[in-house]
Amino acid sequence: MEIIIEIYMYLRDGIKEHFILKKVRKKFKKINEINSDIQNMYAENQGLLETDKTIIDKVLNTDVTNSHDINELYLFLKNYLDKTQ
């Protein structure tokens, strides 16, 4: 009788472990898909991010008290807007 109980416990633990591993694999697969989607989105938008950084640097380096710098920034932004349309 004890052997039957031990076999039952062993099988029960093995089955439980199997289902837990199955769930873990499924979760890792979902996480991997999400990670791939994020990497693809980042790769698609890399050019936009670099352009945004260029524009932000230009705006931050503009002296607002100098009218020449303001005009230069205006022309830069206008030129960028014309290129994107």
Helix extents (H) in the chain: 2-60, 67-84
Distance (Å, whole) CA 14 – CA 8: 10
Residues of the domain holding 58? 2-84
Distance (Å, whole) CA 73 – CA 71: 5
Distance (Å, whole) CA 9 – CA 5: 6
9-63 pLDDT, tens digit each = 999 999 999 999 999 999 999 999 999 999 999 888 887 777 778 888 888 888 8
The confidence score (pLDDT) of residue 65 equals 83
pTM of the prediction? Answer: 0.52
59 Cβ contact partners less than 8 Å away, ≥ 6 residues apart = 73
Which of 48-52, 62-66, 72-76 is most confident?
Answer: 72-76
Q: Structural domain tally of the chain?
A: 1
